[in-house]
Amino acid sequence: MSQGKRGRPKKDPNKRTPPIEIEQARIKVAEKKRTAKYKKLQLYYYFTIGCEYLDSSILAD
């Protein structure tokens, strides 16, 4: 391991890991994207195939 300016060992750039907060934020964003896709699929289903299973009073509004 080589030394930096102040005598501290330099960190290997290949071994760097993102801070935990960033990793958790990525997980939250991925979770939101999955949820959004699922909700879009639900709406697509209800407006196409599932339309006949819905109560007719809902469609009248």
pTM above 0.85, yes or no: no
Report in angstroms the alpha-carbon separations of 59 from 14, 15, 34, 53: 58, 57, 28, 11
Share in percent of the chain as helix, strand, coil (round to 5): 65, 5, 30
Backbone angles phi, psi at 54, to 5 degrees: -75, 155
Confidence at residue 15, expressed as pLDDT on a 0 to 100 scale: 77
Report in angstroms the alpha-carbon separations of 50 from 6, 40, 41, 56: 67, 14, 11, 12
Confidence at residue 58, expressed as pLDDT on a 0 to 100 scale: 58
pLDDT in tens, 4-61: 566 677 777 777 776 777 777 888 888 888 889 999 998 888 888 877 776 665 555 5
